[in-house]
Chain A
Amino acid sequence: MSVSVQQADFDVGAEMAALSAGRDDVGAVASFVGLVRADKAAAADAGVAPAVQAMTLEHYPGMTEKALQEIVDQAERRWDVFGIRVIHRVGRLLPGDRIVMVAVASAHRGEAFVACEFIMDYLKTRAPFWKKEETPEGGRWVDARESDEHAAGRWDSGPN
């Protein structure tokens, strides 16, 4: 189980392969990759140029790693998984760049899918990262979304 917070990009294939390397009991590896989106559709609706030209991710060094590890530990306690890998990038990123990866290995797809979704939902509301978008009008801190709180709240009633 490991988490990384880094500026550098990562190799999704290599990270997923590593979760099952040297073992024959892994039957499923599920993954999620989040990317910087230019949001062209919203910009077109508003009749302006694509809004996000770049994005800078700020975080709280020290707390970030602890918060991610706590989320991973909780996923391990809830589901029967063999391995979890979380990588989150910080610093300046461009549209199309990878931001985050979560990958989970388990015996069957059910645990892998659900643990992966749980980790992303909790990461979105509990890990101290903040996005600042660069737009033609200047810098703009991204607002937290109510839907993210709702998504994370779905898991609160389950076992810890």
Chain B
Amino acid sequence: MNVRVLFFAGLREALGTGSESLALPDGIATVGALRDHLAARGESWSALATTKNLRSAVNQLMVAADATVKEGDEVAFFPPVTGG
């Protein structure tokens, strides 16, 4: 399954990248599993596990960690928002 992953704000800086297209191994079907998969790369990627109250979105809608990820989805991870 191929997905596009986006990172924003402090998380983007910690990872040193704002986006990535990747092929997921079988068995990764939720936002939470994708987060764990990326965090398991180690080093700076552990920021995905340690960022407090990490938020996520699928296809530009805010979702919880148990949300399903499908082929072609755009999945974003970011810290709590601070606009306004």
Contacts and interface: CB of A to CB of B under 8 A. Distances in A.
Interface of A: 34, 57-60, 62-63, 66-67, 88, 99-100, 120, 123-132, 141-144
Interface in B44-84: 53, 57, 60-62, 76, 78-84
B16 interface: no
Interface of B: 6, 8-10, 53, 57, 60-62, 76, 78-84
Contacts, number: 72
Q: Which 5 A-B pairs have the closest CB atoms?
A: A129-B83, A144-B80, A130-B9, A63-B60, A141-B10
Contact of A123 (B57, B60, B76, B84): B84
A44 to B, nearest CB: 23
A81 to B, nearest CB: 20
Contact of B6 (A60, A120, A123): A60
Contacts of A63: 57, 60-61, 76
Contact of A126 (B6, B8, B62): B62
B4 to A, nearest CB: 12
Contacts of B80: 125, 143-144
Given A130-B8, A130-B78, A123 B61 contact: no
A142 B9 CA distance: 10
Nearest to A32: B84
Contacts of B62: 67, 126
A158 to B, nearest CB: 19
B79 A141 contact: yes
30 contacts: A34-B84, A57-B83, A58-B8, A60-B6, A60-B78, A62-B60, A63-B57, A63-B60, A63-B76, A67-B62, A88-B84, A99-B84, A120-B84, A123-B83, A123-B84, A125-B81, A126-B81, A129-B84, A130-B9, A130-B10, A130-B82, A130-B83, A131-B82, A132-B9, A141-B10, A141-B82, A143-B80, A143-B82, A144-B81, A144-B82
B84 A60 contact: no
A125 B53 CA distance: 12
A46 to B, nearest CB: 21
Given A60-B78, A130-B9, 20 more contacts: A34-B84, A60-B57, A62-B60, A63-B60, A66-B61, A99-B84, A120-B84, A124-B83, A126-B62, A127-B83, A128-B76, A128-B83, A129-B81, A129-B84, A130-B81, A131-B82, A142-B82, A143-B80, A144-B80, A144-B82
